Structure 1
Amino acid sequence: MSLHHHHEHSGEGLVAAARGALEKAGEQWTEMRSDVYDALAGQPKPASAYDIAEAVSKARDKRVAANSVYRILDLFVRNNLARRVESANAYIANPHPGCRHDCIFLICDGCGKAVHIDDDRLTGALIEAARGAGFADVRPVVELRGMCADCSGGGE
């Protein structure tokens, strides 16, 4: 099976799934981590650590340093709660934090929206090619840029 289908969480269900995944990994769900996750999940498109720090600062009514947010985002990425969009140096909440897959991002050059798809056949072929070239512990980072249906006029 090439495409993997799974339940994508949203809203409170997403926060509960993220908290459960982080605690299952032996990490604590602190108030600050919760605030960062809420800010990340509330972004309409991939956001920088500075964007998230600004959102958390507004929510807490006190300044939060971007360095603190970077550390938490790195923790989220390591534990599959968030994905890093490499080309944009930005982060996006993983809508299925309990599922480990190498996401393929489709990034709109018009509005900046990022959509992800999972295609284990494609990412598996990339991993095998890398192993064939002598690489180990390969983690595919695949990003395709183009125009989404709304920006290209294909959406209704």
Structure 2
Amino acid sequence: MSTDQLPTPAGGCAPASLHAEIQQFYARQMHLIEGAGADPEAWAETFTEDAVIELAGDTPDVGREAIRASVAAGVAHIAAQGWDFRHWFGMLDVRPRRDGSVRTRYYALAMATPRGGALDIRGSLVCHDELVRDGSGWLVRHRRLVPDGRPGS
């Protein structure tokens, strides 16, 4: 355990209430960019002003405005294809830090289904987030995405 990580209950798990709170944050966050009601503006607001999103091998998006532009382009592309696009997060590990932030590690599947077609898994990633409190909720300060098969996952 690093020195900035808080002690956790037996087995190294975060308290159940914190784990559930973080799961709910991710569910709400991803629902903001899925389906006909996708709202990239609201999704970008779930990141800090100086947030960073790194996808292994790509230039990172730095700052909420860059993140907003990137996700808006992605949502527009998905809509133009006529896909239903969904995200599934699993195997969530939540680690509270002494400074009040939380580090998470989870697996993500990105799935597309053409209208009337079969599900296609578009990506499988290992995700590493740093979340910070924002009032009673959370914001992402740093997100690192590592596609399966790449070093660092």
Q: TM-score, normalised by structure 2?
A: 0.28
With normalisation by structure 1, the TM-score equals 0.28
Q: Which has the higher helix share?
A: 1
* Structure (1/2) with the larger strand percentage: 2
